[in-house]
Amino acid sequence: MLPAGNTASGLTAGGLTRTLLALWLAGVAMRMTILAMPPVIPMVHAELQMSETEVGLLVGLPLLLFALAAVPGSLLVARVGSGLAIMIGMAIAALAGAARGAAIDVATLYAAAIATGFGVALMQPAMPTVVREWLPGRIGLGTVTYTSGMLMGAAFAPMLTIPLILPLAGGSWRLNLVYWAVPAALIVPVFFLLRPKTAAHDEAVTTRGGRWLPDFKNPTLWLLGLCLGSNNSAYFSTNAFVGDYLASFGRADLLGPALAWLNGAQGFALLLLFPLAGKLQRQSWPYLIFGPMLLASFAGMIFLSSTAGILTATTLIGLTTAVTLPATLALPPLLSPPGDVHRTAAGMFTISYTVAIIVPTVSGALWDLTGRPWTAFVPLCVCAVTLTVFGFVLTRRPRKPEVPVPDTVRVQ
């Protein structure tokens, strides 16, 4: 039996490749349907006559479900296993994502957005858990792999909607949402075929008694939640407001390039993430370097109005949030005993997405109350500072005692 630290922890080279591909596709499914909305928000805004606060809430509602359904997601993992929980979540997110295109008013749009968020929320506690179960000796690699899928899933829709998908959909924002749901649904059977062919990884959690409630008295859990919440708020809020923000000073022509650079920069970050996968674990440098850079990027959004300034700022926002995201997501498997990873992850997501609901809503409300578009970015500056400080503190938290995990997962 190979020790956990060896090249695949008992996986053949082909098995490792298939496992990583399954993780990557799951990551894509976690973001693709959600991020199909920002490129068409101006169209939705106009057709449904939404206020800026309602736009902020449209972004915040899926995140609300990320928060509210994280603990039920932990329960689902404890009852049916992490692999099946991921597939259930993917199917719900794809179907609900398509249903957004049938919205007849703001209320029905919100309902479909809530269901989409619910599906993704079921997946989120399962992902760190399945990484710990499938690749116990390579948590950094597994985390970077599924995070890279999230980043690419988030980039596909913003980059391709305006130049490619909308023309295919005849300019319909409704058909655009349906088109993006199709590949998300197809990922479900592909994931099933690629995942390890034994249920041992799904049984790892239930053998510990099926515990699923997060320990909200644990200060580490709050640090994790607030750190991840700051990262998510910065990214999702920028995607939500950049279109109307650019239009407010006559630069609506920059919406396509700004979204492309914002989300495409996350793909560029992969060039940095994969070679450094093992050096992201419990290291402070991602926060100390990229946290202040994120703050400077929001300052650029506020004070710069030139094409170069806006595109540079949005590019750096995408890059900085991309690097700090896997650094944070890798922490629950490293700071928790293996059987408690889903509980810690569920608590982290509950807190983080509660923050990510509040921040864009506050940003939109500030804009509406003051009439000054730049005020929407003030809460995001606070997020950049929080990410820097709390991320650094987390890397100094004591490591939890390791509990041996049977090396029984094999892929032929």
pLDDT digits (tens, 9 = 90+) for 98-114: 999 999 999 999 999 99
Average pLDDT over residues 140-166: 86
Q: Tell me what pLDDT residue 320 has.
A: 94
- Count H helices, E strands: the chain? 18, 0
In angstroms, the CA 205 to CA 217 distance is 22
Average pLDDT over residues 172-191: 95
Question: Which range among 15-29, 209-223, 270-284, 339-353 has the greatest average pLDDT?
Answer: 15-29
Instruction: Provide the Cα torsion 312, 224, 152, 132; round to 10°.
Output: 150
Question: Which range among 190-204, 271-285, 332-346, 384-398 has the greatest average pLDDT?
Answer: 384-398
Give the chain's domains with CATH numbers: 13-394 (1.20.1250.20)
Q: What is the DSSP letter of 389?
A: H
Q: Per residue in 186-217, pLDDT tens?
A: 999 999 999 887 544 444 444 445 678 888 88
Q: Point out the least confidently predicted range of 67-71, 166-170, 196-200, 206-210.
A: 206-210
Q: Which of 83, 240, 67 is nearest to 154 (CA)?
A: 240
User: Does residue 2 have a pLDDT over 70?
Assistant: no
Tokens of 235: 């990214």
**Mean pLDDT score of the chain:** 84
Q: What percent of the chain has pLDDT over 90?
A: 38
Q: Per residue in 212-267, pLDDT tens?
A: 888 888 899 999 999 999 998 998 889 888 888 898 888 888 888 888 888 778 77
User: Does residue 292 have a pLDDT over 60?
Assistant: yes
SS3 percent helix, strand, coil of the chain, rounded to 5, is: 80, 0, 20
Q: Per residue in 312-370, pLDDT tens?
A: 999 999 999 988 988 898 888 888 777 778 888 889 989 998 888 889 889 989 998 99
Q: Tell me what pLDDT residue 86 has.
A: 94
Q: Point out the least confidently predicted range of 19-28, 149-158, 201-210, 228-237.
A: 201-210
Question: Which range among 73-82, 276-285, 363-372 has the greatest average pLDDT?
Answer: 363-372
